Amino acid sequence: MGYTERLMVVFPHRAALIAVAFVAGCSGTPWNNPYPASESGANILYSSFSERPKHLDPVQSYSENEYAFIANIYQPPLQYHYLKRPYELIPFAATEVPRPRLYDAKNRRLPVTADAGEVAYSEYVIRIRPGILYQPHPALATDESGRPAYRDLKPGDLDGINAIGDFQRRGTRELVASDYVHQIKRLAHPRLYSPIYQLMSEYIVGLKELARDLARADKALPEGGFLDLTRFELEGVRTLDRYTYSIRVRGKYPQFVYWLAMPFFAPVPPEADRFYAQPGMAEKNISLDWFPIGTGPYMLTVNNPNRRMVLERNPNYQGEVYPGEGEPGDDAAGLLKDAGRPLPFIDKVVFSLEKEQIPYWNKFLQGYYDASDIGSDTFDQAVRFTGQGDVALTEDMEARGIRLQTSVATSVFYLGFNMLDPVVGGYTERGRKLRQAISIAVDQEEFISIFRNGRGIPAQGPIPPGIFGYREGEEGINPYVYDWVDGKPRRKPVEYARKLLAEAGYPDGRDATSGQPLLLNLDTTTTGADSKSRLDWYAKQFEKLGVQLAIRATDYNRFQDKLRRGNVQLYFLGWNADYPDPENFLFLLNGAQSKVKTSGENASNYANPDFDRLFDQMKNLYNSPQRQAIIDRMVEIARYDAPWVWSLFPKDYTLRHAWVYNRKPNQMANNGLKYQRIDPVLREKLRREWNRPVIWPALLILIVLAASVVPAIVAFRRRERATATLPETGAGR
Amino acid sequence: MTAYIIRRLLNAIPILIGVNVITFVLFFVVNSPDDMARVQLGVKRVTPEAIAKWKQERGYDRPLLFNGRSSGVGRLTDTIFFDKSVKLFAFEFGRSDQGRDIGYDIRTRMWPSLAIALPVFLMGLATYIAFALLMAFFRATYIDFWDVVLSVAMMSVSGLFYIIGGQYLIGKLWSMVPISGYDGGLDSIKFLILPVLIGVISGVGSNARWYRIIFLEEINRDYVRTARAKGLSELRVLFRHVLQNAMIPILTGAVVVIPFLFMGSLITEAFFGIPGLGSYTIDAINSQDFAVVRAMVFLGSVLYIIGLILTDISYTLVDPRVRFE
């Protein structure tokens, strides 16, 4: 018996009222469904975003929340294999992963094994697949005569047009190599800010000169005038034929190939730049930064970052199939069942704005989001630890058919020492032993257990698992902090840390010469009640050594300013990998990257000549035993010097509903939507089951309110009918 | 009345200049243009050249308030303050630091804010007045006593509790309305029920108690006694006489907030995913987008002044004794 029928039995006289008031319920769509009823049962994936993306222009975008969209829209030459680990580059628009051709200063071809010192240039020749088409877009639309439909818009042509979808005509064309060349030129566009321009200008031949020429030409233009990049040449990047182009970089730069898997190197048609540069577009916020144009599996059809963003299947996308290989265990996990089937599986992906965690979590439990991360607030509701210490879902989650997936992020969190600081820095035994003692005292295992619900792995060095150079087991432990006992690492005792501290000149945490207690300052941006327990915990770790820790909470800007000036002793930072190469982690400790000296990413200002020399060797090598050996030596040097307390590699926990398939965490690829598949029928069935409206409490409240009015009415009537009497008699009441 | 309004509008100009100066100084005491650039450019691979370029493109490469390198009036006009402020008075908000047209964003986002704020305002006013009149009618009885207790209890509870509790009870446990979200047109109704309901309920305690005091003050006046002596019913006394005479203090509180309805609610919009001006302001503060912050503060000041003028005008409507002359 349904709810409505039951109510009619209980309150038969109110049946008509219920029928009218809750007629929506008769349609079968749950009342609390936040999506239109027309979408019920459709092949749509529902996700969310909490922060509006700042940039969707592939030359400017550089953050994860932006890549969640554009990585599914644009098509760089390369991509990461969805299933294989360690991460492997495979072709996307390209026909193959390019191998660099090496040249010396006289432009003579060198063997691929040539020493980095001999190599003057590396050239990457990239051939793309013919027949790839752009998504339907007004920038590519033509009129009856075959000319661009929206080329020379006149005042008034944009009346009534507020978004890209308001243009009547749309067109497409084939992707060609020169579109990739055009995008690389855009890195140097004077009106765009590309976060990798500075880096790439050091490598891509002619990029710096192009930037200079463009800036000069831009100044000569009237304000807002169109800067046509096609009129400019970029020396190091050439179109070889319709489907082939080459990029020439200075020296040997094996990591360059990873950049080719990022949206910075995705194609942008010159027509798009011309289209968006027309007068009136910017005033309506119609720009490439807001309305992308790509050749990828999806296209952005709704861009309202104040409410929802919608990706829809690009009707022109074809030629890619689900992978047939993965890592061991993928087959058993059902991740290879769709092998060979054309991508993408899902027709539409709806991202809704969800700023707060609580409503997001509740909507996931109601089935209105297909997958969810686990926050600290919701961890206990979702996850429990078994008697063996394993992670499992709670019974409620299991009953709903929810699945848990975990993966170690390609990120590192650390507590850094400023090596320029006279107390904690330096390369003498005094400073080194002090840092090693602190590294032992700060119990990362306890931290992960208390504050991260076990979601992390204590770091033994700067390179996280899954990245070449990471070592497991006994050979992978940090011998200055851990011992290998009973087949697992065990943190050295605090007594040993105290001994090191005494050797550093601070017996019992006091300066041996002055007798003053050692006071260290920790600068952090984490403030507020939530962080207090965490910071108190850190202070207690230092207390184990008798060292006093002063927490200097500061805002983000001041914190960054202090780092740049070197006005910190200890600080927290982290790093997310750009690409899965050890160079992208070890460069954080390269002396040439010193924050104080060069505004680089080495916030500890660590500068060890041996480490730097090995870094220069390592970064020019391809993955090989030789490279592994150099990395081992670098990591050993860094562990010994201890410029960081190697804190942890975070572990991501995600949940997905039973109707979601082929979802595998991939820390490098952001274009995973095309592989996912859903069962909308099962979702609809479970949504209805989980979201049956409970109306008796509302009725009960109404009845209680109605009942409470009765005495008021009685009292009112009594008062209205009362006659005036003398107060002393009391008659008439 | 026209002369009065013109005079008030002219008086508003120095106020708006003052607000602008204070906003500017407060913002730049906390943030420098370099800080703003870094927040906008992200945390990875931000170079000094990129920061300089960002500042130059947005006009933040000039001195804040006084330009010693310029001459004459240029010392004051060739500054960030002048450049960013003077156009505000023509309601040209310019572009946000992220490059979007602020005026367009405001025009787009004020409607969702209004969609919540207006029903909350109207339904709330009706509810609070009805509730307060009920308490006034049953003054010094157990009904009044328990209503006051209930009001005090309700006003003691945080607004956030109403939101989270409402979402949990009505949206999650009872599955009657969506927990959060927003849509355009008539589809927005199902998303508005819960925030409007919570908005009205969360205000019952404080407002009903405040209006009750106003009504009780009126109810003890001579004209009420006279009305009763004439034999009028209590309902007629309350609605015909007490309510009308209590309108001035009610209007003082109510009319002044009408223009503010456009500005939205910060917390409600965040929790319900409503794309209004409240969340727009919060986003701007979080991303240190000075262009949006100053535009919203300026708009808020203008609306506040308009609210005060409207309040003054409304006095003449409810009280014939009040004349601007």
pLDDT (tens digit per residue) in A386-412: 777 678 899 999 999 999 998 899 999
Q: Is the pLDDT of residue B45 over 80?
A: no
CA distance B65 to chain A (A): 21
CA distance A281 to chain B (A): 11
Q: Is the pLDDT of residue A629 over 80?
A: yes
Task: Using pLDDT thresholds of 50, 70 and 90, give the confidence band for residue A727.
Answer: low
Contact status, residue B244 vs residue B318, Cβ threshold 8 Å: yes
In a domain, B85, yes or no: yes
| A244-250: strand order across its sheet | A109-110, A101-103, A121-127, A244-250, A237-241
Q: What is the pLDDT of residue A725?
A: 61
Are B141 and B191 contained in the same domain?
yes
CA distance B156 to chain A (A): 22
Between the alpha carbon of residue B42 and those of residues A118, B50, B98, B201, the distances in Å are 36, 11, 12, 41
Q: Cβ separation of B177 and A32 shorter than 8 Å?
A: yes
Q: What is the pLDDT of residue B2?
A: 82
Q: What is the pLDDT of residue A238?
A: 96
In a domain, B98, yes or no: no
Are B84 and B147 contained in the same domain?
no
Mean pLDDT of the B256-271 span:
78
Q: Is the pLDDT of residue A6 over 50?
A: no
Q: Cβ separation of A359 and B180 shorter than 8 Å?
A: yes
Q: Is the pLDDT of residue A10 over 60?
A: no
Q: Cβ separation of A198 and B49 shorter than 8 Å?
A: yes
Task: Using pLDDT thresholds of 50, 70 and 90, give the confidence band for residue A724.
Answer: low
In a domain, B104, yes or no: no
What is the β-pairing status of strands A383-385 and A391-393?
antiparallel
Which among A356, A362, A720 has CB closest to B270?
A356
In a domain, B102, yes or no: no
Are B31 and B123 contained in the same domain?
no
CA distance B6 to chain A (A): 33
Question: Which chain A residues have a beta carbon less than 8 Å from that of B172?
Answer: 362, 365-366
A191: closest CA among A95, A119, A287?
Answer: A287
A719: closest CA among B168, B238, B63?
Answer: B238
Are B152 and B10 contained in the same domain?
no
| Chain B interface includes A25 (CB < 8 A) | no
Q: Residue A416 pairs with which residues in a beta bridge?
A: A571, A644
Candidates B39, B47, B139, B179: best to mutate against A (most CBs of A within 10 A) is: B179
Which among B50, B182, B190 has CB closest to A307?
B182
Q: Which long-range contacts (CB under 8 A, 24 or more apart) does A25-30 make?
A: A25/A693, A28/A688, A30/A366, A30/A687, A30/A688, A30/A691, A30/A692, A30/A693, A30/B175
Candidates A200, A207, A304, A306: best to mutate against B (most CBs of B within 10 A) is: A306
Please tell me the least confidently modeled range out of A219-223, B59-63, B313-317: B313-317
Q: Is the pLDDT of residue A560 over 80?
A: yes
Candidates A31, A63, A714: best to mutate against B (most CBs of B within 10 A) is: A31
Q: What is the pLDDT of residue A5?
A: 43
Report the residue of chain B nearest A693, measured CA to CA: B175
pLDDT digits (tens, 9 = 90+) for A504-523: 999 999 998 888 999 999 99
Which among A307, A561, A695 has CB closest to B176?
A695
Question: Which chain B residues have a beta carbon less than 8 Å from that of A191?
Answer: 57
Which has more pLDDT, B266 or A695?
A: A695
Q: Please tell me which of A363-377, A487-501, B98-112 the model is most confident about, judged by mean pLDDT.
A: A487-501
| Chain B interface includes A723 (CB < 8 A) | no
CA distance B32 to chain A (A): 9
Q: What is the pLDDT of residue B84?
A: 79
Q: Is the pLDDT of residue A7 over 50?
A: no
Q: Which domains does chain A have, with CATH numbers?
A: 3-28+693-724 (no CATH), 53-302 (3.40.190.10), 411-652 (3.10.105.10)
Question: Which chain B residues have a beta carbon less than 8 Å from that of A282?
Answer: 101
In a domain, B66, yes or no: yes
Q: Is the pLDDT of residue B92 over 70?
A: yes
In a domain, B312, yes or no: yes
| Chain B interface includes A363 (CB < 8 A) | yes
Are B138 and B245 contained in the same domain?
yes
| Beta-carbon pairs below 8 A across chains A and B | 146
| Chain B interface includes A356 (CB < 8 A) | yes
Q: Cβ separation of A32 and B178 shorter than 8 Å?
A: yes
Candidates B30, B104, B142, B175: best to mutate against A (most CBs of A within 10 A) is: B175
- To which residue do tokens 């240190």 refer? B288
Q: Cβ separation of A557 and B279 shorter than 8 Å?
A: no
Task: Using pLDDT thresholds of 50, 70 and 90, give the confidence band for residue B62.
Answer: confident
Q: Both tokens of residue B297?
A: 């503060």
Task: Using pLDDT thresholds of 50, 70 and 90, give the confidence band for residue B72.
Answer: confident
Question: Which chain B residues have a beta carbon less than 8 Å from that of A359?
Answer: 167, 171, 179-180, 271-273
Which among B44, B99, B283 has CB closest to A195?
B44
Report the residue of chain B nearest A354, measured CA to CA: B273
Q: Is the pLDDT of residue A1 over 60?
A: no
| Chain B interface includes A39 (CB < 8 A) | no
Candidates B29, B45, B58, B232: best to mutate against A (most CBs of A within 10 A) is: B45
In a domain, B105, yes or no: no
Q: Cβ separation of A306 and B280 shorter than 8 Å?
A: yes
Which among B108, B175, B179 has CB closest to A692?
B175
Task: Using pLDDT thresholds of 50, 70 and 90, give the confidence band for residue A536.
Answer: very high
In a domain, B291, yes or no: yes
Residues 6+ apart with CB under 8 A from B17: none
Between the alpha carbon of residue B305 and those of residues A4, B20, B291, the distances in Å are 52, 14, 21
Question: Which chain A residues have a beta carbon less than 8 Å from that of B178?
Answer: 32-34
Are B72 and B150 contained in the same domain?
no
Are B278 and B131 contained in the same domain?
yes
Are B164 and B15 contained in the same domain?
no
| Residue A622 CA to its chain's centroid (Å) | 27
Over pLDDT 70: what percentage of chain A? 94
Report the residue of chain B nearest A21, measured CA to CA: B176
Are B268 and B138 contained in the same domain?
yes
Q: Cβ separation of A720 and B233 shorter than 8 Å?
A: yes
Q: What is the pLDDT of residue B195?
A: 94
Q: What is the pLDDT of residue A363?
A: 95
Please tell me the least confidently modeled range out of A51-65, A297-311, A622-636, B33-47: B33-47
Are B277 and B131 contained in the same domain?
yes
B270: closest CA among B163, B194, B187, B198?
Answer: B163
Q: Chain A 185-204, CB below 8 Å of chain B: which residues?
A: 191, 193, 195-199
Task: Using pLDDT thresholds of 50, 70 and 90, give the confidence band for residue A25.
Answer: very low
Are B123 and B84 contained in the same domain?
no
Over pLDDT 90: what percentage of chain A? 70
Question: Which chain A residues have a beta carbon less than 8 Å from that of B174?
Answer: 693-695, 697-698
Q: What is the pLDDT of residue A545?
A: 95
pLDDT digits (tens, 9 = 90+) for B114-143: 999 999 999 999 999 988 988 888 888 888
Residues shown for chain A: 733
Write out the H or E segment, with its range, that includes residue A466.
Answer: none
Between the alpha carbon of residue A712 and those of residues A264, B132, B139, B142, the distances in Å are 71, 14, 12, 10
CA distance linking residue A574 with residue B120, whole number of Å:
44
CA distance linking residue A463 with residue A639, whole number of Å:
12
Which among B46, B141, B174 has CB closest to A697?
B174
- Domain CATH for B237: 1.10.3720.10
pLDDT digits (tens, 9 = 90+) for A689-708: 999 999 999 899 999 988 87
Are B36 and B136 contained in the same domain?
no
Q: Cβ separation of B273 and A304 shorter than 8 Å?
A: no
pLDDT digits (tens, 9 = 90+) for A565-574: 999 999 999 9
Q: Is the pLDDT of residue B315 over 60?
A: yes
Question: Which chain A residues have a beta carbon less than 8 Å from that of B31?
Answer: 557
Task: Using pLDDT thresholds of 50, 70 and 90, give the confidence band for residue B325.
Answer: low
CA distance B5 to chain A (A): 34
**Amino acid sitting at position A171:** G
If phi over 0 gives left and psi between -120 and 50 gives alpha, with beta otherwise, what is residue B108? alpha
What domain range is B63 assigned to? 2-90
Report the residue of chain A nearest B135, measured CA to CA: A712
Q: How many domains does chain B have?
A: 2
Question: Which chain B residues have a beta carbon less than 8 Å from that of A30?
Answer: 175
CA distance linking residue B249 with residue A389, whole number of Å:
64
Q: Cβ separation of B182 and A695 shorter than 8 Å?
A: no
Q: Both tokens of residue A416?
A: 């850094």
pLDDT digits (tens, 9 = 90+) for A240-291: 999 999 999 999 999 999 999 999 999 999 999 999 999 888 888 899 999 9
Computed on alpha carbons and rounded to an integer, the radius of gyration of chain B in Å comes to 25
